[in-house]
Structure 1
């Protein structure tokens, strides 16, 4: 029977000799669980929760086929099979209809090994090492390794394999001329450059036989100057289909690309149209991905004919039940991925276990379980920011009687500031989710209510949780009360007017957000694919090499002159997120924001902001000075309750306010909520 709202999402599809029950894939993410001692147990729990949540197919994190392919999870020896077999058995036991495919990933020149390899000795800017150029014997060894890995995946019970040929990993570096400078049969003309990818697929198909699903992930638009041309992409996809690929999965960009493709500033389904054009040239199904985070977006992509399947990787971290919630009309209960990357990709690239900012249980399923409480308690929670919301809703879900107080007239705390920044509109989804959880689990929400220690102690609560957040720090500086000075809170909420020349004191995450807000002009790029394409220099219509070659980004600025200042001598923005910080720096640089480190603040007066830079005095003749000088924990209520003997806990920014950190706040709140 056709689903009334999602007829395409919930229709089955044949992939080679097999059938998937719906069109939603849990896309590949290396979680780090692959490398822990109890990998089989933890990966099984992680995947099974998504299987029970309704997903049609899972693609694992990348597994290297050869020791040169990267440290961590590897499948090249028979004794490595049992861990994988435990995972596939668990998935199939949970739902025999769900398919699980193993991604084979050789990182090539960016592998974190002592001697990385590549088609040519061309160093990636992301790696400290120049790769060793593979000779004929080395190329044969690597191709054989892919085939061997695939055969072992078959022995491990996988339904298929995905070969990743994009992102700057080994296969993709054979395809692109700038990284393949060979003059033998593996380089030079396009037919030679694509030979490695085609031969890998041919050999893998021979190794796994006709029944397993074979997916190849192609860079449909690599976002590289001088990258792959459209006719090369089409001819490669056709050649892979001819050699036995059942599915082509489209990927966008290399890790070296200077175009964001998965950050929250990227519009939803921004790249699906590229997949749609490639689909017209093939007779096998295609997968699209990138910033598809809700079921209605997936349905629209499929309905337009832009893809046959939709990969939703990070959304499956945020909410394992996403598919079931869509099926049963509970979309308002979906904990939506906001594309922040703070606990997923940032963790991956810094060697930490992956999780999720909005769902601290992700990848910790064996450690954090939401079970009914042994005995219901009456709990007061003060503060409806991220920490208070997470604690209150999870504690209430477990059966506790929770009253949530906040002096403001809306939930959200600092999220209510973040959502006002252009490019962070997705934060609205998190607040929608928490509003629904408050109603669903019966939290007694009391907004516009400032409670005292007397009120709380008189309420007879079994436990009091303080999540009162932070107060902006006001630096001790001559002239800090001058009329041209404003706090970041007043600027973001629109209470303070901002002049044409502005100094921002503080270049942490808030300083960058404020700079984005006050220099922005026009429609947010996150809400309009055409605006996004112009701002980042992408030509979706003509698809030059890499999608970007010869395209000049258009600067969208309102003309303000802005100085972004920090005390530390390190590079401005160095402390921002690993996978998104560079996008903010580039955006502001293009708008002419002057970023100055090593600043010593002297005073503020009618002439402007007086500073020292390397000991030399300078006066910034600005109309406005916006203070983003950090935060102090708002813990006065906690301290009083503690002194008076209350059973009280402290979480979130009120516990630690070194830098606003919703990831830490929600994690801390979740851990406390499952323990009480």
Structure 2
């Protein structure tokens, strides 16, 4: 009997039978605009179909050129564009899968000079001010959606998803603060809904009764002066009447001040919204956001929050997500940890999407882990992300791997990361690798510091010994009030007044760890109205009282946490601001003593004055603290590698991960580097 009877049950939608309740959601991969990229894109989708994906939704394709996210971005408006799309649909259908094209007009989020919108109002996350569409242009855009859907049907797609949420063009028409029109597409709730409903109606007319139409409905805008839930429900009813087959739930605009998909969001954190929709609609409703395990998906369906779940990034992390759930092997799923580092961060910076925990994502043909020609005995020293990733990949290829780890448990820096509030999902990665190493027969020796003698048996040695915290060289840093970040995360006693030395990712994590109230409520803290009465779902944030007073110190004079993730850095800064953490930048450290940290910092200036913080006058300041935490970076820990490099003979010794480059504890680079090394072996 299946462990997931609801999640894996089929669902009839119009003329299609979906094999289960899991939709692979839309992700813009970066290949949509690459000439010839359709072949790699087809292979990416095919691997997911082979792993059990039923209905796949493509990355967003605009119905006309001005709706593309960037100049020259992907759009579908002419018959001569169908060839690459047929390459994709033929490949998916050849494996028995279903695929829908997402139609997405970027509206005021478009980053080019031809951007258009309901009104000429610039988005706060964009430098481009859009041009207001005329009434005739709005009507033409409706026809462009219908034309693109018809072309998608001719290209072999089983359906389309109409992107009506996340603050893109259709969503912009629905909200008063982005739609100041007075024609038939603005001025009243009914008029603002007209654009969305006309698009669905015309798409249905253009494609006939059997074509799948999924509409992504913004159920919770999370921006000021947005829709009330009663308006959202009315739109849902009109979209259903216009001919949609499925409602897919959208949560939040890209400019919203509330996290919606990052790791700090509770698992299935917004399915209560899809439930409220489902109670008033007849067509199937899909839930989204932070549904990353089959257990969570099963619970969502079972309790009636939705008819389907829509997962995007979990299929990056593991293309076999559904197959492993069906085979009742959930511990083998490489779970998405919602870090955003290789997926959304890449997308929003114009790079090809991939995955931190699965660097083969989007490189399926380039990064191949085929059977080895010569099985070697390989010693891997260090079981952090790099060591674990290499051991798994090498063993998968057929090498005989022995893994050494000096700590009693696997995981390395991930064991520290998973203790940070909101990063608990990092434990999934440790669980995945532990399960895989056992399946692959890797010999694991924990609680043992490997020596050159221990690895003498090996034909090849991989040193993945990680990092050691950098000693910043501040007078007094060896005093009784000073702790390292590892001590703090391991539970060392910390005072009520804390100075954190270092404004990088570790400094931010430690400051959050020290101030976070474990009993706080995500929705209260960030200001989300679970009663669905407030406009846009927004309330005033009501953060819990921080557990400690923390000051975060940074040598550079720039914005605190400037090197944090593109799509998550703002969240970490907001968390610390809500905890009343004080940021002091541009400091020079003088000494640490029982009073706290003595620093030289730039003198206060009049707002009209400018100057170079590295040369301007500085004043001495004492940062009061009864505990000082050093988060001043890391150094590679590669003593064993240096010792082995002095051996006589030709035995290969490789250094990967933090032991190779310690900058910013880059797990994305460490795992990718390790898998690439394993793939390159004979």
The two structures share one fold, judged by TM-score above 0.5: yes
Q: Which residue of structure 1 lines up, in the alignment, with residue 516 of structure 2? A: 520
Q: Which residue of structure 2 lines up, in the alignment, with residue 544 of structure 1? A: 534
CA displacement at 1:597 relative to structure 2: 1.2
CA separation in 2, counterparts of 1:79 and 1:113?
24
Aligned counterpart in structure 2 of residue 604 of structure 1, from 582, 592, 602: 592
**Structure 2 residue 125 is the aligned partner of structure 1 residue 126:** yes
Q: Which residue of structure 2 lines up, in the alignment, with residue 651 of structure 1? A: 656
CA separation in 2, counterparts of 1:454 and 1:307?
58
CA separation in 1, counterparts of 2:452 and 2:680?
24
CA displacement at 1:543 relative to structure 2: 3.3
Number of aligned residue pairs: give it: 661
CA separation in 1, counterparts of 2:131 and 2:333?
47
CA displacement at 1:629 relative to structure 2: 0.3
Q: Secondary structure at the match of 1:379?
A: strand
Which ranges in structure 2 are unaligned for 5 or more consecutive residues? 603-617
Query: What per-residue deviation string (whole Å, max 9, x for no partner) do you get for residues 572-628 of structure 1?
Result: 012111111111111110111001111111111122210011111101121111000
Q: Which residue of structure 1 lines up, in the alignment, with residue 506 of structure 2? A: 510
Aligned counterpart in structure 2 of residue 487 of structure 1, from 484, 487, 501: 484
Query: What per-residue deviation string (whole Å, max 9, x for no partner) do you get for residues 415-437 of structure 1?
Result: 00001111111011111111101
**Structure 2 residue 627 is the aligned partner of structure 1 residue 624:** yes
Query: What per-residue deviation string (whole Å, max 9, x for no partner) do you get for residues 36-94 of structure 1?
Result: 23312111111011101112210011011111112322211222111110100000001
Q: Which residue of structure 2 lines up, in the alignment, with residue 271 of structure 1? A: 270
CA displacement at 1:325 relative to structure 2: 0.5
Q: Which residue of structure 2 lines up, in the alignment, with residue 528 of structure 1? A: none
**Structure 2 residue 589 is the aligned partner of structure 1 residue 589:** no
CA separation in 1, counterparts of 2:393 and 2:152?
38
CA displacement at 1:115 relative to structure 2: 2.1
**Structure 2 residue 202 is the aligned partner of structure 1 residue 197:** no
Q: Secondary structure at the match of 2:664?
A: coil
Query: What per-residue deviation string (whole Å, max 9, x for no partner) do you get for residues 510-566 of structure 1?
Result: 00100011001133x6xxxxx111111111124311111xx2222123441111111
Does the 8 A contact of 1:522 with 1:556 survive in 2? no
CA separation in 1, counterparts of 2:398 and 2:660?
25
CA RMSD of aligned residues (A): 1.1
Question: Which 4+ stretches in 1 moved above 6 angstroms?
Answer: none
TM-score normalised over the length of structure 1: 0.96
CA separation in 2, counterparts of 1:119 and 1:466?
57
Q: Secondary structure at the match of 1:453?
A: coil
**Structure 2 residue 566 is the aligned partner of structure 1 residue 578:** yes
Aligned counterpart in structure 2 of residue 499 of structure 1, from 495, 498, 512: 495
Query: What per-residue deviation string (whole Å, max 9, x for no partner) do you get for residues 438-496 of structure 1?
Result: 1000111011111222432x32x1111010110000011111111111100111111x3
Q: Which residue of structure 2 lines up, in the alignment, with residue 664 of structure 1? A: 669
CA separation in 2, counterparts of 1:544 and 1:401?
59
TM-score normalised over the length of structure 2: 0.96
**Structure 2 residue 176 is the aligned partner of structure 1 residue 177:** yes
5 Å-filtered alignment, 1:112-261, equals 112-261=111-260
CA separation in 1, counterparts of 2:585 and 2:662?
22
Q: Which residue of structure 2 lines up, in the alignment, with residue 78 of structure 1? A: 79
CA separation in 1, counterparts of 2:229 and 2:373?
61
CA separation in 1, counterparts of 2:535 and 2:226?
5
CA separation in 1, counterparts of 2:568 and 2:225?
23
Q: Which residue of structure 1 lines up, in the alignment, with residue 351 of structure 2? A: 352
Query: What per-residue deviation string (whole Å, max 9, x for no partner) do you get for residues 114-159 of structure 1?
Result: 1210000111011101110000121122112111111110111000
**Structure 2 residue 639 is the aligned partner of structure 1 residue 641:** no
CA separation in 1, counterparts of 2:461 and 2:32?
39
Q: Secondary structure at the match of 1:476?
A: coil
5 Å-filtered alignment, 1:85-96, equals 85-95=86-96
CA displacement at 1:640 relative to structure 2: 2.0
Which ranges in structure 1 are unaligned for 5 or more consecutive residues? 526-530
Does the 8 A contact of 1:275 with 1:287 survive in 2? yes
CA displacement at 1:647 relative to structure 2: 1.1
Query: What per-residue deviation string (whole Å, max 9, x for no partner) do you get for residues 219-260 of structure 1?
Result: 101111221111110111111111111111111000010010
CA separation in 2, counterparts of 1:667 and 1:251?
32
CA separation in 2, counterparts of 1:347 and 1:323?
25
CA separation in 2, counterparts of 1:406 and 1:35?
44
CA separation in 2, counterparts of 1:367 and 1:558?
48
CA separation in 2, counterparts of 1:630 and 1:207?
58
**Structure 2 residue 680 is the aligned partner of structure 1 residue 675:** yes
